[in-house]
Amino acid sequence: MKRPDGFDPGARPSPDRTQRTTPTASKPARDRPEAPVTEQETDVLELDAARLTSKRGSPKVAAGPRASSAGRTSVTSADRASKTDDRASKVEDSPSTTEERDRPGQPSDEHLLSPREAARLRRRHERQEIRRFTARKRGRHRPWMLAAAVLAALVVVSFAGAYSPLLAVRSIEVVGATRVDQAEITKALSGQMGRPLALVDPGAVKAVLVGYPLIASYSLESQPPSTLVVRIVEREPVGVLQSGTVYTLVDAAGVTIERSDQPIAGYPTLMVAGGATSKGFIAAAAVIRALPADLRARVASVSASTADDVTLTLVDSPAEVVWGSAEQSAEKALILAKTMAATDPSQVNQYDVSSPSAAIVR
């Protein structure tokens, strides 16, 4: 029988037959690893090749060529099976999924993972990056956080100590009182005893001290662990106002310090028109406060009908001192002291220092 054209028993299998013997060749390797070819599949492929030859009407072929063709088919299938086994062994021997996938010349391992495993791996990597970034950020902020914690601890300890019963008031000390009875003030402030030093009521202390007209000002000071110090500034007397048979000791503001029906020694008499609210009184009080202590002790009286005609009389001299206004009182006091030192006050009738640049002695 004539053989069909192009038929060659020793030729390589046609593309159709190759596709049938390697059904997984057209599929991409990323979908799944190629399964190894078993001996049973090889026998099936050989049987299909024999049937195809018989259908084309080819005569019987010697055992040699068929055997060689079958041998070639078997070798080809065996080679593919060995390659598939090698691929499977590579998959089994491959490192863990966390191995670096960007080494040159090596295929990516992502095609060996399922979509779920790949997503899980990405999430794990993202968590690691977040933890690393958070650790660096905490490291930069750690010194500030430590300083803030120390400051907060100091504030808490300070407040706890300030309001602790261990720092309660157990004693009251009055400083600066000469005319005011210290024991009386201490007794009046007994309501603050037992309070923490930080909780002493300034309003209650003020209400007590306002009742003492001799106190010009005061201040409170806490001395741990349990002492409250009251510093008092008393009013400074400047002179005595006489009204009939009543003598009133006043300060520069006209506040009454002491009242008596007898002359009060040690202070000059203020002879002013209009009382403690007049301009003459204000000028006379300013002049007395500007005098040095030794010169003030030599003044017997101060008179003023206006703010510009202040006149002094001396205890140890019949001479009077024409002062004028209260302006430049410190300079006038210095000129008066020098002039009195250069003359005999008992022989002088008047010292005029109303113009300090040209003092006159009469």
Same domain as 125, residue 52:
no
Same domain as 330, residue 216:
no
Q: What's the confidence (pLDDT) of residue 346? A: 82
Same domain as 217, residue 181:
yes
Mean pLDDT over 137-161 rounds to 76
pLDDT at 270 over 90: yes
Mean pLDDT over 133-142 rounds to 70
Mean pLDDT over 335-355 rounds to 89
**342 assigned to some structural domain:** yes
pLDDT-above-90 percentage for the chain: 28
Contacts of 200 (CB under 8 A, 6+ apart): 169, 192, 220, 222, 228
Same domain as 85, residue 33:
yes
CATH number, domain containing residue 177? 3.10.20.310
**21 assigned to some structural domain:** no
Q: Indicate the burial class of 160 (C-beta count within 10 angstroms; 0-12, 13-18, 19 or more).
A: exposed
**15 assigned to some structural domain:** no
Same domain as 222, residue 252:
no
pLDDT at 225 over 80: yes
Q: What's the confidence (pLDDT) of residue 77? A: 46
Q: What's the confidence (pLDDT) of residue 53? A: 54
CA geometry: angle 238, 235, 174, nearest 5 deg: 150
**306 assigned to some structural domain:** yes
Q: Please name every residue paired with 31 in a beta bridge, in sequence order, or none if there are none.
A: none
Q: What's the confidence (pLDDT) of residue 61? A: 40
Same domain as 356, residue 310:
yes
Residue in the structure block whose two tokens are 């000071």: 221
Q: What's the confidence (pLDDT) of residue 205? A: 94
Number of domains forming the structure of the chain: 4
How far is it, in rounded angstroms, from Cα 99 to Cα 95? 6
pLDDT tens figures, 13-51: 444 444 444 444 444 444 444 445 555 555 555 555 555
How far is it, in rounded angstroms, from Cα 75 to Cα 225? 104
Q: What's the confidence (pLDDT) of residue 331? A: 93
**64 assigned to some structural domain:** yes
**335 assigned to some structural domain:** yes
Tokens describing residue 231: 């510093």
Residue where a domain stops, chosen among 234, 251, 281? 234
pLDDT at 125 over 50: yes
Residue where a domain stops, chosen among 176, 202, 234? 234
Same domain as 326, residue 219:
no
Q: What is the pTM of this model?
A: 0.51
Same domain as 134, residue 40:
no
**11 assigned to some structural domain:** no
**7 assigned to some structural domain:** no
CATH number, domain containing residue 281? 3.40.50.10960
Q: Indicate the burial class of 316 (C-beta count within 10 angstroms; 0-12, 13-18, 19 or more).
A: exposed
Same domain as 302, residue 205:
no
Q: What's the confidence (pLDDT) of residue 213? A: 84
- pLDDT confidence tier of residue 138, bands split at 50, 70 and 90: low
Residue where a domain stops, chosen among 64, 93, 122? 93
Of 125-139, 177-191, 319-333, give the lowest mean pLDDT range.
125-139
pLDDT at 1 over 70: no
Same domain as 111, residue 43:
no
Same domain as 344, residue 257:
yes
Q: Collect contacts of 344-347 with beta carbons under 8 A, ≥24 apart.
A: 345/314, 345/316, 345/317, 345/319, 346/316, 346/317, 346/318
- pLDDT confidence tier of residue 287, bands split at 50, 70 and 90: very high
- Structural domain containing residue 62: 27-93
Q: According to the per-residue pLDDT averaged within each range, which of 74-78, 82-86, 87-91, 98-102 is highest?
A: 82-86
Q: What is the mean pLDDT of the chain?
A: 75
Contact between residue 257 and residue 179 where contact means Cβ atoms under 8 Å apart: yes
How far is it, in rounded angstroms, from Cα 94 to Cα 44? 33
- pLDDT confidence tier of residue 347, bands split at 50, 70 and 90: confident
Please give the residue that has the higher pLDDT: either 315 or 62. Answer: 315
Same domain as 122, residue 71:
no
